[in-house]
């Protein structure tokens, strides 16, 4: 029962609303008035009371009731969740957690525009918030600077889902009021010519990021904020945005978001990749005409020997022009997230990659890093729809698989770990924190499975029995094994070392005043990359043993002839290997080798740029791109061994096993490639599945274990096929 002495449309607000005491007015908008309130225990809430003209509309109440019910399902690190609501009240009202700190509008008015890095971080957090909202079946429809609150630990998006009830029943103006915010509304919202989908929120995100870094909407044509809304609405629908004042690092991304055609805007899942380079203080690379992405989208798969016509039949050639256009733009948006500093955009997969490094560095003693005996015995073919595991889009959620001693462990970043039997049966699963973006993927070692938990890291036996938990409240980076020690990163600058068979801490290493941006391991040692605050510059490398002790007397630095940003990609007993980014485009232009014994560097330029997904095996580096080109480099000799145009369209990351490379294409076909010369030996059957919203990235490397290939596809499926069956085709 609502106790009031007036309404939102009357002369005075109620002193109480339900069980809440109203303390003061915070502001007002087109739909209602917002008050600061408190509970009987003193918790502060923000309560929005709906204006009388909408409350008296039965149709609006029905929609408001449905939207409140849906909004209650939204939760995430960057949203302000609904705490309580009374759609039947007089007036109807909605209560969310109160977030002190003010809105993005307040911040810009008070202190001026954000820096490019700050605006990028806001954009990354908004993308994650929108993903949570969209997963709940809602479209925000009113994302604007006033609805973006700036808390100490990141943004909070408010009013999610409620604007839908408003926009369904009213046009742009009614009774002289502007409903919605034209500078941040998509053209289809203003014209009513098309369905308002999640793409409208992407448009708004681009406009908000532009506002954050310039202080105005890109459609306010150089005038002050708050210009004539109808004039602004006209520009949104008919004119191009003014992006001249945006920093170059953000201009292309914002421009993609502000495309007039909703089909041309990138997916939120692609934009979410901003989170990793923003959180690691990295800089955006500028993408315009990257040959890697352009060639990848035009690539043809290898011709089947039995196909005498030789006609290319790839997902790209079969797609409609509109679908191909959308793929190109989504790929470009994903490419924008490649970093010029930090751990790289594919952090969610690196834990699995590091587990594959075998020999120990410098010293051959101890277990191999993350070594396993593989999956027991071959299995027959099977296929899973990853939607059944709660994975909407494997390519953008970092879904990949690694072997355990008897099963297969698959994970999506730090949010999901699932153990599958060799027949594809789900044996058990662990759900990590919802805010685990950028944290370590699940890890398998010595018959145990380790996964991210609310507390830090939880350890399970392979059959799903919880064994112990490690307290690591600031867990980030990767989980690694060095001899009999588990290595984890807790905070920006500290590594902790734990006994792999117990929760006992055995050592610690820190880099005061610096930030750990990458760790790789191999057997007896871990190689740690650190950088300075904010700039992502001044990289240093240190070799550390299983107890956290430094193996070098001083850190190593990149060689003087390094022409771009270096990222470590692996190590073995003799050396560590790096890929070198071009500073202007998100492509790899060289590979480097650091000798772990004498500290010498060898740099080998690539004759063809590659995508940043280099793999190392038996001292040979394999660089590849989505067009299916592979370059093999002997980094010790400083020379290319061969370059091959395999023609594998939308190629996955490669995996190496027993002298063979294995890749999948955009239709999920598995290919076997001779690692000696790049010849395509054979290809499997397509597994197209149902592509997810961001499947214009590339798939992770296939897992090859005990004669069976486990392939994650861009169609959001996981299938298993014995290699013998592939070789019989």
**CATH number for position 238:** 1.10.510.10
pLDDT (0 to 100) of residue 1: 34
Residues of the chain with pLDDT under 50: 1-12, 166-179, 275-377, 534, 695
Structure tokens at 154: 């990141």
Rounded distance, CA 722 to CA 705, Å?
Answer: 10
Q: Are 362 and 482 in contact (CB under 8 A)?
A: no
Whether residue 91 is found in the same domain as residue 189: yes
Domain membership flag for residue 278: no
- The domain boundary residue, chosen from 215, 241, 265: 265
pLDDT (0 to 100) of residue 14: 57
Rounded distance, CA 180 to CA 31, Å?
Answer: 9
Whether residue 363 is found in the same domain as residue 251: no
Domain membership flag for residue 286: no
Whether residue 238 is found in the same domain as residue 367: no
Domain membership flag for residue 6: no
CA distances from 133 to 67, 268, 552, 588 (A): 12, 11, 48, 35
Element (H, E) at 609: strand 601-610
* Helix, strand, coil share (%) of the chain residues, nearest 5: 20, 30, 45
DSSP for 404-469, please give it.
-SSSEEEEETTTEEEEE-TTS-EEEEEE--TT-TTSPPPEEETTEEEEE-SSEEEEEETTS-EEEE
Q: CATH code at 466? A: 2.130.10.10
- The length of the chain is 729
Whether residue 458 is found in the same domain as residue 557: yes
Rounded distance, CA 583 to CA 564, Å?
Answer: 5
Rounded distance, CA 325 to CA 265, Å?
Answer: 10
Active-site choice (86, 142, 354, 611): 142
- The domain boundary residue, chosen from 265, 300, 319: 265
What is the DSSP pairing of strand 426-431 with strand 416-420? antiparallel
Instruction: Show Cβ contacts of residue 573 under 8 Å, excluding neighbours closer than 6 positions.
Output: 359, 360, 361, 362, 363, 364, 522, 523, 596
pLDDT (0 to 100) of residue 42: 80
3-state SS of 303-323? CCCCCCCCCCCCHHHHCCHHH
Rounded distance, CA 60 to CA 70, Å?
Answer: 15
Domain membership flag for residue 521: yes
pLDDT (0 to 100) of residue 115: 86
Rounded distance, CA 493 to CA 92, Å?
Answer: 49
Rounded distance, CA 74 to CA 56, Å?
Answer: 27
DSSP-derived 3-state class of residue 572: coil
Rounded distance, CA 281 to CA 306, Å?
Answer: 51
Domain that holds residue 709: 347-727
pLDDT (0 to 100) of residue 225: 59
Structure tokens at 567: 């990222």
Domain membership flag for residue 333: no
62 included as an active-site residue: no
Structure tokens at 720: 């298993």
Over the stretch 235-277, which tens digit does the pLDDT of each residue have? 899 899 999 888 876 887 788 899 998 988 888 876 765 534 4
Whether residue 70 is found in the same domain as residue 207: yes
Q: Are 172 and 190 in contact (CB under 8 A)?
A: yes
Whether residue 239 is found in the same domain as residue 380: no
Q: Are 338 and 580 in contact (CB under 8 A)?
A: no
Residue closest to 271 by CA, chosen among 259, 289, 281, 256? 256
Residue closest to 146 by CA, chosen among 136, 137, 156? 156
Domain membership flag for residue 523: yes
Domain membership flag for residue 3: no
Whether residue 233 is found in the same domain as residue 366: no
Structure tokens at 252: 């292309």
Domain membership flag for residue 322: no
pTM of this prediction? 0.55
Over the stretch 492-547, which tens digit does the pLDDT of each residue have? 899 999 999 999 999 999 999 898 988 999 889 999 999 886 456 788 999 999 99
Number of domains in the chain: 2
What is the arrangement of strands in the sheet containing 44-50, beginning at the earlier edge strand?
A: 16-17, 20-28, 32-38, 44-50, 93-97, 82-86
- The domain boundary residue, chosen from 216, 239, 265: 265
Q: Are 541 and 576 in contact (CB under 8 A)?
A: yes
């Amino acid at each position: 029962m609502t106790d009031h002495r007036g309404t939102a449309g009357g002369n005075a607000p109620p002193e109480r609303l339900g069980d809440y005491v109203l303390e003061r007015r915070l502001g007002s908008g087109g739909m209602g008035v917002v008050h600061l309130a408190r509970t009987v225990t003193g918790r502060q809430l923000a309560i929005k009371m709906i204006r009388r003209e909408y409350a008296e509309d039965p149709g609006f109440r029905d929609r408001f009731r449905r939207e409140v019910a849906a909004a209650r399902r939204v939760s995430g690190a960057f949203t302000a969740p609904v705490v309580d609501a009374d759609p039947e009240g007089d007036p109807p009202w909605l209560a969310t957690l109160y977030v002190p700190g003010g809105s993005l509008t307040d911040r810009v008015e008070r202190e001026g525009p954000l820096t490019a890095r700050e605006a990028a971080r806001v954009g990354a957090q908004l993308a994650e918030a929108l993903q949570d909202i969209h997963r709940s079946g809602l479209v925000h429809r009113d994302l604007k600077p006033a609805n973006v609150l700036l808390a100490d630990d990141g943004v909070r998006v408010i009013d999610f889902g409620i604007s839908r009830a408003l926009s369904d029943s009213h046009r742009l103006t009614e009774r002289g009021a502007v409903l919605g915010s034209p500078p941040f509304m998509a053209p289809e919202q203003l014209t009513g010519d098309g369905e308002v989908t999640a793409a409208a929120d992407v448009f708004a995100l681009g406009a908000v990021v532009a506002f954050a870094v310039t202080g105005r909407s890109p459609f306010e044509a150089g005038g002050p904020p708050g210009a004539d809304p109808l004039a602004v609405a006209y520009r949104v629908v008919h004119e191009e945005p003014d992006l001249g004042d945006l920093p170059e690092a953000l201009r292309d991304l914002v421009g993609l978001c502000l495309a007039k055609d909703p089909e041309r805007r990138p997916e939120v899942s692609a934009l979410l990749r901003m989170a990793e380079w923003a959180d690691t203080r990295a800089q955006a690379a500028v993408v315009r005409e990257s040959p890697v992405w352009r060639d990848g989208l035009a690539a043809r798969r290898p011709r089947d020997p039995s196909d005498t016509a030789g006609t290319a039949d790839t997902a790209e050639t079969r797609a409609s022009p509109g679908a191909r256009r959308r793929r190109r733009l989504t790929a470009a948006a994903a490419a924008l997230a490649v970093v010029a500093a930090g751990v790289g955009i594919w952090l969610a997969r690196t834990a699995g990659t590091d587990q594959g490094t075998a020999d120990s560095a410098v010293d051959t003693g101890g277990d191999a890093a993350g070594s396993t005996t593989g999956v027991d015995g071959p299995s027959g073919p099977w296929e899973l729809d990853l939607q059944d595991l709660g994975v909407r889009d494997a390519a953008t959620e970092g879904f990949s698989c690694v072997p355990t001693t008897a099963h297969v462990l698959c994970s999506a970043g730090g949010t999901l770990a699932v153990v599958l039997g060799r027949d594809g049966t789900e044996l058990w699963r662990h759900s990590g924190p919802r805010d685990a973006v950028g944290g370590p993927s699940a890890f398998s070692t010595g018959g145990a499975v380790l996964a991210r938990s609310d507390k830090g890291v939880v350890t399970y036996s392979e059959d799903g029995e919880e064994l112990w938990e490690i307290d690591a409240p600031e867990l980030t980076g990767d989980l690694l094994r060095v001899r009999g020690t588990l290595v984890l990163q807790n905070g920006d600058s500290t590594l902790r070392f734990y006994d792999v068979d117990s929760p006992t801490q055995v050592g610690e290493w820190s880099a005061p005043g610096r930030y750990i941006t990458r760790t790789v391991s191999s057997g007896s040692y871990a190689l740690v990359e650190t950088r300075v605050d904010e700039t992502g510059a001044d990289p240093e490398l240190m070799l550390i043993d299983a107890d956290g002790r430094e193996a070098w007397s001083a850190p190593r630095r990149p060689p003087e002839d390094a022409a771009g940003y270096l990222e470590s990609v692996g190590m073995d007993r003799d050396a560590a290997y790096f890929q070198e980014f071009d500073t202007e485009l998100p492509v790899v232009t060289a590979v480097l080798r650091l000798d772990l014994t004498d500290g010498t560097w060898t740099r080998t330029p690539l004759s063809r740029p590659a995508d940043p997904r280099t793999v190392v095996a038996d001292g040979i580096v394999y660089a590849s791109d989505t067009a299916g080109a592979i370059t093999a480099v002997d980094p010790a000799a400083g020379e290319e061994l061969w370059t091959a145009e395999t023609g594998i369209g939308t190629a996955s990351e490669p995996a190496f096993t027993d002298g063979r490379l294995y890749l999948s294409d955009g239709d999920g076909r598995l290919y076997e490639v001779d690692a000696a010369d790049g010849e395509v030996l054979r290809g499997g059957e397509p597994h197209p599945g149902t592509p997810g919203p961001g499947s214009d990235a590339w798939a992770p490397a296939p897992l090859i274990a005990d004669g069976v290939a486990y392939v994650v596809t861009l169609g959001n499926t996981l299938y298993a096929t014995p290699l013998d069956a592939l070789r019989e085709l």
